[in-house]
């Protein structure tokens, strides 16, 4: 969209802007569900503007006031008819970007629709091999990097009509701007991935000039956010509501204990195998999925009993070595993309648990809760790092930012984490 059209969008009536944005989304193939969600948010924005007599044009101040008044509180998350409010911040940001740039950047890219020219595909394959052999990237990291570089190459091919030897500094700037709808730490990672690829192209002689220096540096503080922490009484309430007589309850109870008592990551819980459980010396021995480093921690009595109960009376009799399986035939292990969020959500809602302020609510937040409770007890950072399997103390020190009053409200019985001693 040219500059004149962008100006006319910024100055166009709010209703016209919304109609154009929805039309753009339809052309991009957004699902009916997504369209209805954006339509609901923007209809409320128009109504809000009329009620407050704020005029008929979109503006940053209008957007800010709307978000401030309608942003969902935790107690309203599950109210009928209020679902659109959970997405209000992102919905308003999408409309803001459309008003400024005249285009919609899909939140997710359909990788199946990307078809790179053979020369680009070959160079990308060569780079992947280079990452395996020389950079020693872990498979998960390489998979993410390959995805982002595929999107980058598609941008060059379809939007800029460039071959790899024709890349210009302006192309890089426009690509980074096009990813501006993402969170800063995500953009930072993408820029880092592209920078590495550009250096590879220079090393191979495909680029005559190293353009990696033209990419901006996206600075994101490692401790910019405070970890989400559950009050201890809420964890007690969550565990207490679980029906431990059912296969689902037995499985989910063991999963939740691994997170909130031992601090295991969701990926390590999902991939935990029967061979990792060393009953004879009461230990769990795994290779951490995130760091690819070996990790050992004691198997406490509480967690061990929950695992035994599930394995004996809840787990389907299947040959899979993964400990945790799905509840319905064919009783398979969880797929790689499953972060087990549904396990927490099901029992949290059944328990009627709400939070004082918006926060993350998945398994990782239970891991955070263990760390902050240990910190409140005066446990040294190196000990907490060992418990959580951190390879750097910088990853552990972020918990020092947690609110002091929140820490005081979550006293922990030492028997619940015997391996912390």
Catalytic residue of the set 181, 251, 265, 270 = 265
Catalytic residue list contains 290: yes
φ, ψ at 201 (rounded to 5°): -60, -40
Length in residues, the chain: 421
At 298, phi and psi to the nearest 5? -65, 145
Catalytic residue flag (residue 367)? yes
Q: Buried b vs exposed e over 209-239: b needs ≥16 C-beta within 10 Å? A: eebbebbeebeeeeeeebbbbbebebbebbb
Confirm whether 364 is a catalytic residue.
yes
Known active-site residue 250: no
**Given 85, 181, 348, 364, which residue is catalytic?**
364
Nearest to 14 by CA among 44, 35, 260: 44
Catalytic residue among 250, 373, 399, 419: 399
Residue pair 410/232 in contact (Cβ under 8 Å)? The answer is yes
- Annotated active-site residue in 103, 138, 162, 290: 290
Q: Is 265 a catalytic residue?
A: yes
Q: Which of 307, 283, 279 is nearest to 295 (CA)?
A: 283
- What proportions of the chain, in percent to the nearest 5, are helix, strand and coil? 60, 5, 35
Per-residue tokens: 1: 């969209």
Q: How far apart (Å, rounded) are the C-alpha atoms in residues 373 and 376?
A: 5
**Selected catalytic residue, list 367, 368, 373, 419:** 367
> Which positions are catalytic?
265, 290, 364, 367, 390, 399
């Amino acid at each position: 969209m040219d500059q004149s059209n962008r100006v006319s969008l910024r100055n166009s009536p709010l209703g016209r802007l919304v109609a154009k944005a929805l039309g753009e989304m339809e052309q991009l193939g957004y699902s009916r569900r997504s369209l209805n969600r954006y339509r609901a948010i923007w209809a409320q924005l128009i109504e809000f503007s009329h009620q407050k007599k704020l005029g008929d044009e979109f503006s940053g101040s209008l957007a800010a006031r709307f978000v401030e008044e309608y942003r969902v509180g935790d107690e309203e998350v599950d109210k009928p008819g209020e679902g659109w409010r959970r997405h209000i911040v992102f919905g308003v940001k999408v409309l803001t970007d459309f008003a400024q740039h005249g285009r919609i950047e899909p939140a997710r890219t359909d990788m199946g629709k990307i078809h790179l020219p053979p020369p680009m595909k070959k160079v990308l394959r060569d780079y992947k091999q280079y990452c395996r052999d020389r950079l020693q990237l872990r498979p998960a990291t390489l998979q993410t990097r390959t995805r982002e570089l595929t999107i980058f190459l598609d941008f060059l091919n379809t939007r800029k009509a460039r071959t790899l030897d024709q890349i210009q500094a302006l192309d890089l700037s426009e690509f980074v701007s096009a990813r501006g709808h993402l969170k800063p730490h995500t953009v930072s990672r993408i820029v880092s991935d592209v920078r590495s690829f550009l250096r590879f192209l220079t090393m191979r002689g495909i680029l005559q000039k190293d353009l990696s220096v033209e990419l901006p540096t996206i600075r994101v503080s490692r401790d910019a956010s405070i970890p989400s922490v559950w009050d201890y009484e809420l964890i007690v309430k969550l565990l207490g509501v679980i029906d431990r007589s059912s296969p689902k309850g037995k499985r989910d109870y063991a999963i939740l204990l691994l997170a909130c008592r031992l601090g295991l990551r969701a990926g390590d819980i999902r991939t935990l195998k029967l061979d990792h459980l060393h009953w004879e010396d009461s230990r769990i021995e795994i290779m951490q999925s995130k760091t690819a480093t070996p990790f050992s921690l004691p198997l406490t009595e509480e967690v061990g009993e929950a695992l035994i109960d599930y394995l004996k009376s809840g787990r389907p009799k299947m040959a899979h070595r993964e400990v945790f399986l799905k509840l319905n035939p064919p009783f398979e292990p969880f797929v790689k993309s499953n972060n087990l969020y549904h396990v927490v959500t099901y029992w949290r809602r059944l328990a009627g648990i709400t939070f004082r302020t918006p926060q993350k609510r998945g398994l990782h937040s239970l891991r955070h809760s263990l760390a902050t409770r240990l910190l409140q007890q005066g446990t040294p950072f190196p000990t907490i790092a060992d418990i959580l399997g951190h390879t750097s103390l910088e990853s552990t020190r972020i918990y020092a930012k947690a609110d002091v009053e929140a820490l005081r409200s979550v006293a922990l019985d030492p028997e619940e984490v015997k391996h912390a001693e």
